[in-house]
């Protein structure tokens, strides 16, 4: 999506999935493939980077998403921590906090007996979280 900037010596990079397709989350929602296509294209066209928050708190922005794309599994992201305090960065590096989540507005959905199928969203942010709504949305790689 955006071109990664050179890694500063104090930056931590991470990769993982902020959303998993076809799996119902703890709130009853299922994200469908293609749900992020329009919003990712919009971010790219506007050169608008996606912020990385801590626990969905806008006042605790800890970095930026350098790359976001849909693949067969879900929304794969590559991010860099640029503004965390030392304790937050350490929690990510040691694997204590490995959940990922995303802030969004639903733009298209279908009701089902089990919950809701999310067809399209407007992506606002990605967050590092202690307990993601989608248990399989996790950080898979961290480099410092």
Determine the topology of domain 12-143 in CATH: 3.20.16
| Digitized pLDDT (tens) for each residue of the chain, 144 residues in all | 444 444 444 679 999 999 999 999 999 999 999 999 999 999 999 999 999 999 999 999 999 999 999 999 999 999 999 877 788 989 999 999 999 999 999 999 999 999 999 999 999 999 999 999 999 999 999 998
Residues 6 and 117: their CA atoms lie apart, in Å, by 38
pLDDT for 83 equals 75
**CA distances, 79 to each of 14, 107, 110, 111 (Å):** 5, 25, 31, 32
pLDDT for 144 equals 81
pLDDT for 23 equals 97
**Which pTM was predicted?**
0.90
Residues 135 and 23: their CA atoms lie apart, in Å, by 10
Q: Please report, for the chain, the start and end positions of each structural domain, with discontinuous segments joined by +.
A: 12-143
């Amino acid at each position: 999506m955006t071109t990664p900037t050179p890694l500063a010596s104090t930056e931590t990079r991470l990769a993982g999935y902020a959303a998993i397709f076809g799996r119902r989350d703890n709130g009853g929602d299922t994200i469908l493939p293609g749900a992020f296509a329009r919003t990712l294209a919009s971010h790219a066209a506007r050169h608008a980077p996606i912020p990385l928050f801590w626990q969905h708190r806008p006042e605790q922005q800890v970095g930026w998403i350098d790359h976001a794309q849909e693949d067969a599994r879900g929304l794969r992201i590559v991010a860099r921590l640029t503004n965390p305090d030392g304790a937050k960065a350490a929690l990510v590096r040691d694997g204590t906090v490995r959940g990922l989540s995303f802030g969004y507005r639903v733009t298209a959905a279908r009701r089902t007996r089990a919950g809701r199928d999310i067809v399209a969203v407007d992506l606002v942010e990605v967050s590092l979280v202690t307990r993601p709504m989608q248990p399989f949305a996790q950080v898979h790689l961290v480099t410092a």
